[in-house]
Amino acid sequence: MASNMRGLTQFIADIRGARVRDLEEKRINKEMANIRKKFKDGNLDGYQKKKYVAKVLYTYILGYKVDVGHMEAVNLISSHKYSEKQIGYLAVTLLMHENSDFLRLVVNSIRKDLDENNEINNCLALHAIANVGGTEMAEALCEDVHRLLISPTSQSMVKKKAALTLLRLYRKHPDVIPAAEWALRIVSIMDDTDLGVVLCVTTLVMTLAQDHLEPFAVCYQKAVDRLHRLVVEHEYAATYSYYKVPSPWLQVKLLRLLQYYPPSEDHAIRTTLHQVLETIMNNSAEQSRNMQHNNAQRAVLFEAIGLAIHLDTNSPLVGTAAVLLARFISSKETNVRYLGLDTLAHLAARADSLEAIKKHQAHVILSLRDRDISVRRRALDLLYSMCDVDNSETIVGELLQYLKVADYALREEMVLKIAVLTEKYASSYRWYVDTILELISAAGDHVGDEVWYRVIQIITNTEDLQAYASRVVFERLKSPATHESLVKVGGYVLGEYGHLVANEEGLSPMEQLQVLHTKSQFCSASTRALLLTTYIKWVNVFPEIKPQLINIFERYRHVLDSELQQRACEFYALASRPDDDELLQNVCEEIPPFPARESALLSRLNKKHGASEDKRTWVHGGKDVNQDREATKAKQTPTGDKPTNGSAAPTGTSDVLASLHGLDLSGPSSAPSPTTAVASTMLAKPSIAPHVAVGTNVDRWFEKLTYTNEGVLYEDIQIQVGVKSRYQGHIGQLAVYMGNKISVPLTGFTTKVDVDDPEALSVSFAKMPSTMVAPRSQSQHILHVECKKAFTTPPIMTVSFLAGSHQTIALRLPIVLTKFMEPVTLGPSDFFERWKLIGGPPREAQSVFPINLTNGGELDHNKQQQVLSGQKLGILTDVDPNVNNFVAAGVLHMSADGKIGCLLRLEPNRDAKLCRVTVRSTSEDVVGEVQRLIQKPLSADAAS
C-alpha cells in the first residue's frame, strides 16, 4: 500500500526517523494541519483522498487523537477502485465506534457492496459489519448478511465470512437475529462440500442452538452424518487433514454440539454415533511420536469421551474411556493431565457408580500438589464430584489439610466445596460441627458469611446438637488466635444455648463471658453488635453476671458507632428493668427452628463458575446435583425465552440472607429426574410444527396408500416421493423413495419423522439417510415401524433440501392403525356369538355416509372389497344373507397392549346411495379409528 503512495512512504520514514517524542509530534502536527487544509479546500481525486486518509490512519495507529478524515472515508467506500475502497473500509472500522453518526451514511454503501457479485467487495463489507456493527447496522444489514450466507452463488470465502459475521452480530445483539426463523436454512449449509464453510456454519449453529434448542434440533442428524463421513468414511479433502487427523476443529465442534441435545431415540443415529465414537477411541489407543498429531487426536478424543458420557454412562465406550482417562491423569504433559481430570469430573458428575473413579482417588489427591494451579483446580473439582458417603471423611480431611497451604486464588472456592460436602455427606452432626469449625479456623478471611449462617441453621434445628456445639465452640474460643467468623458463631451459639452447659466445670457463665468478651476488642462493629445481643440474652438466663453485663452496656452507650450506641442504650434499658418484669423474658425467647429451605451454598458455588461462549452441559457435583439442575432448568424455561447468549444470571444480594430463612436436613433427594422425558418430548414435538402438504392429489394419494402397499405419496416439478410397505404383526417396514426429477442434484437433503405419540408408535430409520440425491435418480430410505398402542395420528415426515432455494415439504406417512391388522376367518355362528358378546357402545362405532355408484348405477363392490382387504380385514362369506353386505374380522397386533379383536359390517344401499358401517371391538380406542379409516376412502366425499 505504502509503496504506491510516495507521500505516505515519506511520512512514515520521517516519523520513524524522529529521535525524540517532540520531533515526532511536530512532524505529525505539521502533516495534520496540511491534511485539514486539503480536506477543507476540497476538489481531491480518489488517489489523494486515499493517501491523506492513510496518513490519518497511521497517525491514529500511533496513538494520537485524530478528528479529520471521517467524511472522506465514507466517500472512499463508494469508490469503484479496490485500493480506495479498502482504505475507506479500514478507516471506518478504526475511526468510528458503533454509535457514530457517520455510520448511518455508509449503510447504503455497505448494502450495495453486499449485493454485488464481487467476492472482494462482499468480504470488505462483511469485515466492516463484524468489526463495527452497532444495533442500527445490525438491524439494517443482518438480512443481507443472511442472504449472502444462503445464496447458492456465493463463493466459499464469502459464506465463511458471512457465517462468522452473523455469529458476531448475534453475540452483540441477539434480539436482532431471528434465529428460529432461519434455523432450517442455516443448518442445511452444514452439508456443504467445503469443510471450511461447514466449520464456520457449525460454529454459528453451536451458538444459536444453545439459546434455541428446538428450532435447531435438525442439526443433530447433520452433525452425526458429517462425523461419520469424516471419521469412518474419510470423506474430506487433503487440505483439511491436520497431521493425519481429519479437520480436528470441526470434529470437536460437532461433538460438542451433540452434547447440547438429549440422546436420540433413533436407532440408526445411535448406531452411527456409536461407530464414530468407537473409531475415535480406537484411533487414540496408540501414541504417536509426533506431538502435533497427539494434540489433535487428544482434542477430539476428550470431546468424544464427553459425548459418550452424555449419551450413556453405562455403555462399554465409557468403560474404555475410564481406562484411557486413568492413563491421562498420570501423563507428564500438563495439558493432558488437566483435560484428563476435567473429563473424569464430567464422568463423576454423570455416572451411576463412582467405583471406577475411586480407584484413582490417591492419585487425584496427589494432583492437589501439582506445580500447575489449573491442574490443582481441576483436581479439586474432581474430588468434589467424586465424593460420596463412603469416602467423604477422607476427602474432606485431605481438603482441610491442603487448605492450609493452598493458593489464595483457590481458598474461597475450596471453603465452599468443603462446606457443601460436609453438610451433604455428614455421617453425624457432631462430625459436621467439628469439621465446619475447623474449616472456619483454618480458612479465616476466606470463609463467606453463608458458611457460618448455615452451621447456625443446622445447630438451631437440631436439638441434640446444641449442647455439644456450645462446648466445642467454647473450647475453640479459648485459643489465642481466633478468627472473627468463629467469634460470630460463638456469640450466637453461646447466647442461645450456653445455659445448657453452664453447670459443667469450666463452662460457667462468668467463664463464657470472659472468653467471649476478650475477643470483642479485635472484632468489627457488626460482630460487636452481635455480641451485645448475646449479652442481653445472658441477662435473662444468667442473673449472677447481670452487673457485669450492665456495666458493658453502660460503656457501649458512649461509643461513636451509632448502631452499637443504639443497641447498648436499648439493652441497658431492658437490663435495668425489675427482675419480675416479663418484657425481658419475652424479648429474649429462644430462636425457633428455621423452616426447611435449600442451602445458599450451592448457588454461591455455581456462581463462581463464569459462563463462557459455550455453555457447559453439566456442573461439578454428583449425578443428583446435575439431575436437579436440569429439572429446575426445564421448569424455569418459558416457551418464549429470551436468548442468554452465554451470559451469567445477575447475582442478587438476597441469596446469602435467604439462607437464613430455612434449612433442609433431609439430605440429597433420591427421586428420579424427569429431565430425560422432558427433553425427549421437546425433540419429539417441536414448537415450530411443520405445515403438512395439502391438495386434492396429495389427499388422494395418501388415502389410497392407507389400503394399498405401494404408490406415489407426493409429486411436484422437482421431486417425487413413493412408498412401498409391508407389515407383519405389530412390526412394519416402509421404503420411501425420493426421486429427483431435475437436472441438478438436491443437496442438503434432510429427512425427519415426527411422531405425535412416541409411546404408541415408534418410527425409526434403518440407517442414516443420504444428504444428496443425484440428478434424475432416486434414493431409498428404509423406516422400521412398531405399533405399541392404539394411535390416531399418522407420523409426519419432513423433507428439506436445496434446489436453488431451500425447500421444505411435510408429508403424512401412510402408517395407520389398520396396517397392523391380521385377517381372521370365522364361521357365521362364531361371528355372531362374538358380535353379541362385545355388545353396543362404547365398544361399537357406527356411521351412515353417502357413496358413489359405478357408471352403470351399480354398487362398487370391487372398491369396497379392495378397501376392506387393504385395511387387513378378512372378508367373511356366507355370514350375511344380503349379498350386497360385507362382513369382516381381524385382529390388531400391538407390542404393549397385546392383541385386540375387531368385527365389521358394511351395508351399502344402492337406492339411497348410502352406506352404513358398524365396527365392534373389545377396545374403545380402536373402534372409532377403524370406522373412520374404512369410511373415508368409501365415502362420496373422498378425494377423487
DSSP letters, 533-581, are: HHHHHHHHH-GGGHHHHHHHHHHHTT-S-HHHHHHHHHHHHHHTS-TT-
pLDDT band of residue 648 (cuts 50, 70, 90) is: very low
Three cell numbers, residue 814? 401412510
- On the question of a cis peptide bond just before residue 842, with omega within 30 degrees of 0, the verdict is yes
pLDDT band of residue 277 (cuts 50, 70, 90) is: very high
- Quote the pLDDT of residue 671: 38
Mean pLDDT of 476-488: 85
Helix (H) or strand (E) holding 798: strand 796-803
- Quote the pLDDT of residue 462: 87
- Quote the pLDDT of residue 692: 84
Which three-class secondary structure state does DSSP give residue 934?
A: helix
Chain centroid, CA 486 distance in Å: 41
- Quote the pLDDT of residue 428: 86
- Quote the pLDDT of residue 632: 63
- Quote the pLDDT of residue 941: 78
pLDDT digits (tens, 9 = 90+) for 442-467: 887 787 778 888 888 888 888 888 89
Instruction: Please tell me which residue, 450 or 629, carries the higher pLDDT value.
Output: 450
CA distances from 34 to 5, 55, 708 (A): 16, 11, 87
pLDDT band of residue 597 (cuts 50, 70, 90) is: low
Amino acid at position 735, single letter? A
CA dihedral 933, 938, 939, 943 (to 10 degrees): 90
Residue 396 has pLDDT above 50, yes or no: yes
Determine what percent of the chain falls in helix, strand and coil, rounding each to the nearest 5. Answer: 55, 10, 30
Helices 103-115, 119-132: axis angle to 10 degrees equals 150
- Quote the pLDDT of residue 455: 86
Residue 839 has pLDDT above 90, yes or no: no
Weakest-pLDDT range from 157-166, 229-238, 608-617: 608-617
Residue 642 has pLDDT above 70, yes or no: no
Mean pLDDT of 346-365: 88
Rounded Cα gap, residues 456 and 265, in angstroms: 48
Chain centroid, CA 121 distance in Å: 37
Mean pLDDT of 858-884: 89
pLDDT digits (tens, 9 = 90+) for 85-139: 999 999 999 988 888 888 888 889 999 999 999 999 999 999 999 998 888 889 9
Helix (H) or strand (E) holding 602: helix 601-607
- Quote the pLDDT of residue 517: 87
Three cell numbers, residue 901? 379383536
Residue 884 has pLDDT above 70, yes or no: yes
Mean pLDDT rounded to a whole number for the chain: 85
789-813 in b/e form (b: 16+ CB < 10 A) is ebbeebbbbbbbbbbeebbebbbbb
Which three-class secondary structure state does DSSP give residue 714?
A: strand
Please tell me the total number of residues recorded for the chain in this structure.
Answer: 944
CA distances from 196 to 247, 252, 463, 585, 703 (A): 9, 14, 66, 78, 46
Residues 6+ apart with CB under 8 A from 527: 484, 487, 488, 491, 520
pTM over 0.95: no
Helix (H) or strand (E) holding 812: strand 805-812
Neighbouring C-beta atoms of residue 733, cutoff 10 Å: 14
158-195 in b/e form (b: 16+ CB < 10 A) is bbbbbbbbbbbbbebbbebbebeebbbbbbbbbbbebb
